[in-house]
Amino acid sequence: MDDLVDQIRSRIENGAFRVSGHAQGRFDERGLRLTDILASVKTWTIVGTYVQSRMGPSFLAKHDLPGGPIHAVSADAAHAVLVTVYHPDKDKWDEHSTTRRQE
């Protein structure tokens, strides 16, 4: 999975990615900016990996932004795809937004 993360990071840094319609809708409704996500790719923290998903192998990354942490799911469906973005729910994630709380 480390290879996938490195490949997607490289593709994003080179502009060889796309934003899904779902992710674009989340950016709009949550007042987030793609430029902030792109600027934080070098320092993201991988929170989870998904070997099998609808979009192919994917991972959840935490991005530390000035307005607080953001989670973004990226996948490799023949090219890098930003699948969704959201503010982690403080009731569901620890204080660092890296570990899900036990229910």
Q: Contact, 86 vs 70, CB < 8 A? A: yes
**Which whole number is the average pLDDT over 21-26?**
93
Tell me the C-alpha distance between 6 and 91, whole Å.
Answer: 31
Q: Is the pLDDT of residue 54 over 80?
A: no
Tell me the C-alpha distance between 85 and 14, whole Å.
Answer: 20
Q: Is the pLDDT of residue 1 over 60?
A: no
Q: Tell me: domain 2-86, CATH 3.40.50.720, correct?
A: no
Q: Is this prediction's pTM over 0.85?
A: no
* pLDDT for residue 77: 60
Phi, psi of 34 (to 5 degrees): -60, -40
Q: Domain segments of the chain: what residues?
A: 2-86
**Which whole number is the average pLDDT over 82-103?**
88
